[in-house]
Amino acid sequence: MKWRELAEQQIKKAQAEGQLDDLKGAGKPLKPREGGDVVSAGMGIMAEAGVLPREIELKKEIEAQRRVLQGASGESNRKTEMKKLADLELLLAIEEEARRKFYKTS
């Protein structure tokens, strides 16, 4: 199943469950966004809803983990913290690749 079809399926499910009823600005056109592309519009909508994209959350976790690693002492402890950082960076790379593939196929 393509990402576009999956997204449409999730939207239809949310509509059927009434999750999209009475949303702020319902029936009104969306305000123009800086950047003018789909990603910028999506990020703006998510920000207004108080939702962070997974990529942004992972970037924050990576920065926090880098600070932990800087303060780590002892070889064993440093290796443990480095593994956590590598795992987070891998997850971020996966998220970014999924986004790129999504926009390439839609």
Residue 12 — pLDDT band, cuts 50, 70, 90? confident
Buried b (16+ CB within 10 A) or exposed e, 20-55: eeeeeeeeeeeeeeeeeeeeebebbeeeeeeeeeeb
Q: Is residue 71 part of a domain?
A: yes
Structure confidence by residue, pLDDT tens digits, 65-88:
999 999 999 999 999 999 999 999
Q: Is residue 89 part of a domain?
A: yes
Predicted confidence at residue 24, as pLDDT, reads 78
Please give the structure tokens belonging to residue 81. Answer: 């913290």
Report the chain's mean pLDDT, rounded to a whole number.
84
Q: Is residue 40 part of a domain?
A: no
Q: Is residue 41 part of a domain?
A: no
Q: Is residue 93 part of a domain?
A: yes
Cα dist from 38 to 58, 61, 67, whole Å: 21, 25, 33
Are the beta carbons of 78 and 69 closer than 8 angstroms?
A: yes
Q: Residue 102: give the domain boundaries.
A: 53-106
Q: Is residue 45 part of a domain?
A: no
Total of domains in the chain: 1
Structure confidence by residue, pLDDT tens digits, 32-69:
666 666 777 777 777 778 788 888 889 999 999 999 99
